[in-house]
Amino acid sequence: MLFQSSVLVTSLIATVTAQLEVRENAPQCCEKLLSSASPAVLPFLGLLGVTIPNPPVDLGICCKPASVSGCDSNCTGGIAVTCAGIPVSVVGVNIGVDCTPIPSCPPPCNTLSTNTSQLFGSNVGDAFNDLTTFVGNSTVTTENVPTIKAITFRFGSVIDGLAVTYAQGPDQGITTIQHGTSLTTVDSGLMNSTLTLGTNETITAVSGQTGNHSPFGIRVLQLTFTIVNSFTAASRVAGPFGSATGTAFTVAGSGSLIALGGSAVNTDRSLNQLQTARGGLYGLSFVTSNGTDCP
Nearer of residues 16 and 257 to ligand NAG, judged by Cβ: 257
How near is the Cβ of 154 to ligand NAG at its closest, in Å? 7
| Residue 294 found at the interface with ligand NAG (CB under 6 A) | no
Q: Which of 75, 97, 206, 284 binds ligand NAG (CB under 6 A)?
A: 75
Applying CB under 6 A, among 65, 111, 215, 277 the residue interacting with ligand NAG is: 65
6 or 196: whose CB is closer to ligand NAG? Answer: 196
Q: Determine which residue in the list 251, 259, 260, 281 makes contact with ligand NAG, applying CB under 6 A.
A: 251
Position 214 contacts ligand NAG (CB under 6 A):
no
Closest alpha carbon to 158 in 216, 209, 234, 222: 222
In a 13 Å sphere around the CA of 42, the CA atoms on its Cβ side amount to: 11
Point out which residues pair with 126 in neighbouring strands.
264
69, 184, 188, 276: which one contacts ligand NAG (CB under 6 A)?
184
Would you say 74 or 122 has its CB closer to ligand NAG? Answer: 74
Q: Which stretch binds ligand NAG (CB under 6 A): 2-10, 180-188, 211-219, 257-265?
A: 180-188
Would you count residue 189 as binding ligand NAG (CB under 6 A)? no
Question: By CB under 6 A, is residue 272 in contact with ligand NAG?
Answer: no
Is the peptide bond preceding residue 53 cis, with omega within 30 degrees of 0? Answer: no
Stretch that binds ligand NAG, among 6-14, 64-72, 213-221, 265-273 (CB under 6 A): 64-72
Query: Which residue stretch of 1-9, 49-57, 66-74, 272-280 sits at the interface with ligand NAG (rule: CB under 6 A)?
Result: 66-74
Within residues 106-165, the interface with ligand NAG by CB under 6 A covers 113, 115, 117, 136-137, 152
- Stretch in the footprint of ligand NAG (CB under 6 A) among 8-16, 47-55, 193-201, 238-246: 193-201
